[in-house]
Amino acid sequence: MALKVADFFGYSPSDLSSSAMDARALRKCPFIEKTCSKKFKSGIVSGACAVRPITSGVVICCPIRMYAGNYCILRDVAQACFGTDSRLIHDYSERTGDGHDVIVFGKRWGKELRLPSRATHGGYFVDWILALLDQSGKLKEFVAVEVQTMDTSGTYEAQVKALHSGNLNPPISSKAGINWENVSKRILPQLIYKGHVLRREPLCTKGMFFVCPKPVHERIITRLGGNLQEYHPQPGALTFRWYDLAEGTSKGTALSLEFKGQRTTTIDQVANAFTSPQNLPDAGVYEKAIIAVLNG
């Protein structure tokens, strides 16, 4: 395991423009215009939006990083589901009454929904609900959106300290890595459960959208075996949309998100693939490992 910080407060670590330096000095997240909330146990503000493992490409590790372009990923989903004329609004009072208003429910950008708590299953809350209103202002249909990046394991605090001090070539964090085990332990089980909850909603006509960085989508598909049947958005559907950081962004400009692809399948397809994986190791792999140790 080893990685380098690839996106520091929204900019390339090598970007010494006034915009990049101001964001670092103020410890400011340029995507929500607030102080970065990611801190190490020592209290040092992280500012690391994305990291680059030495064996792969850049992986976004902060969910807020996905909200670049004034939450463009939510507009993308709304237009994919409700038409290119749809517009996002923060509050019911902003509606125009033309049938294209989509009210946003979620943290920081829209009102949060008051859903009943569940003692046994607390994990059915989704990050965002995009609700299409008809011309009279009544709810016509809605879509649920989950946004997921990937956690890191270990620490890269020394590298961040070096970047804060102006060292543009900090040491690689050899004890840090990507916590890919969360794909099986947390992400997929939650998607399956939430998907089953949402398919019981008559007005959730397009199912659930899962928005993530490209490497996260690739790891999920690898875990599921890569043989998911494709469907069109419908009740019980799960649509993956994946993005990546744009290459060649000019100095002084925060690295932008680029849409890379979309595929729609169903919750049943994901659940079946999760419980019946196809990409298993060869039979007898444990036996061979044991014998190899016994034989010295």
> Where are the chain's structural domains?
1-62+149-179, 63-148+180-296
Site of tokens 């993005």: 243
Contacts of 144 (CB under 8 A, 6+ apart): 126, 128, 129, 194, 198, 204, 207, 208, 209
Alpha-carbon distance 44 to 39, whole Å? 5
Residue type, 211: V
What string of pLDDT tens digits covers the 296 residues of the chain? 688 899 999 998 888 899 889 999 999 998 888 899 889 989 999 999 999 888 778 999 999 999 998 999 999 999 999 999 999 999 899 999 999 999 999 988 878 787 776 655 556 789 999 999 999 999 999 999 999 999 888 888 888 988 888 887 777 776 788 888 889 889 999 999 999 999 999 999 999 999 999 999 999 999 998 789 999 999 999 999 999 998 766 677 888 899 999 999 999 999 999 998 777 788 999 999 999 999 97
Residue with tokens 């990083």: 65
CB neighbours (10 Å) of residue 135? 13
